[in-house]
Amino acid sequence: METDHQLVVATECERENFNSTGPLHLTVVDWDNEHHRRSVAASLVSGVYILERDRQEKRDPKHALAPLWWEFFNFRLVRQLVDDVDQSIFGAIYEYELKTSPSEFKNKGIPHYVIAFRGTLTSRNSVTRDIELDLHIVRHGLHESTRSRIAIQAVRDLVASSQNRNIWVAGHSLGAAMAMLAGKETAISGTFLETFLFNPPFISAPLEQIKNEGVKHGIRVASSVITAGLAFAMSVKKPQQKNRSVETFSSLAKWVPNLCVNPGDHLCSEYIGYFQHREKMEQLGVGQIEKMATQHSLGGLVMTAMGKEAEPSHLLPSACLTINLAPAPDLKKAHALQQWWQPESQVNFKTQAYLYS
């Protein structure tokens, strides 16, 4: 008779098995197809989760579950990214293996390399460190963590050595926050990487969950006015810091990451309101207020006023926002990575580009 622990392990193995839960329908990838590209990126992120699970479960190479998540799409694992605190695998660098000749890359949008980052794992061997980093996000201090420094340096090194080859960056949840930091760093230096951000955390009250549109809009307007006012007051006090912040935000406008969110996921759903509210403020003729507000986090401003360093890494001037409108029965499903590689017949995506002028 199986014990409860054995049943749990068997269920986890089933979820981690590509042949059970992976996008087996993508036998041929159309690299110009938005959904195909998104599905591949999400699968490679899943590979990082399962790399760490293979390590934790001490699976030998013959029984490892991770490789099929990238080999199915003709990638090979180049390098694992390891956290210096708990030695967990939090990222991976993949290289696309040519089937024919280098001309295969021409006009097909195939990435030469993909750098992927996983999110929080609840396994006891990694959960403490992952939750610590989740708290860093809440405090606007993820950029100060050693894991983020390892991630950013890995992206920088790959960009420097890749000779202008096509590079993708992808991440889910905590990993999406890492990918966003890395993408911002390279964008500031003038390199705009194709980036896939799945369910990235937005540090704010989940206003998108409010059903009354009038109440929701009123709260957003009040928040914008307060945030813009506080930002202006601090810019008068510290003009050099204000100019640097504005220049940094403006330099990111040409970088358009693929931002994938679910309205039922309160951890990321506020991105929907963040971009749509900007358009409404423009229509009301008060776009300048929102332009200042959207560059700042109210919590970050308060922390800065208290003398603490804060970098609201979740704020973006531009994005290609993809919303999964398919009903999600609970937060777990709404936050799941698996939703982003479901067959197109089973999903209901709405995609819209938001660009700062």
Residue 267 CA to residue 270 CA, distance in Å, equals 8
Question: Using one digit for the tens of pLDDT, what is the confidence trace for 94-139?
Answer: 999 977 666 666 656 899 999 999 999 988 778 999 999 998 887 7
**Token pair of 211, please?**
């059903």
Tell me if 35 is assigned to some domain: yes
- How high is the mean pLDDT of the chain? 83
What's the pTM value of the predicted model, to 2 decimals?
A: 0.85
**Token pair of 274, please?**
């963040």
Tell me if 307 is assigned to some domain: no
Tell me if 123 is assigned to some domain: yes
Tell me if 24 is assigned to some domain: yes
Quick one: pLDDT at residue 215?
74
- 233 exposure class (CB count in 10 Å sphere: 0-12, 13-18, 19+): exposed
Tell me if 301 is assigned to some domain: no
Tell me if 244 is assigned to some domain: no
Q: What is the CATH number of the domain that holds 341?
A: 3.40.50
Provide the number of structural domains found in the chain. 1
Angle separating helix axes 213-237 and 270-283, nearest 10 degrees:
80
Tell me if 110 is assigned to some domain: yes
Tell me if 298 is assigned to some domain: no
Question: Using one digit for the tens of pLDDT, what is the confidence trace for 27-48?
Answer: 999 999 999 999 999 999 999 9
Which secondary structure element, helix H or strand E, spans residue 78, and what is its range?
strand 75-82
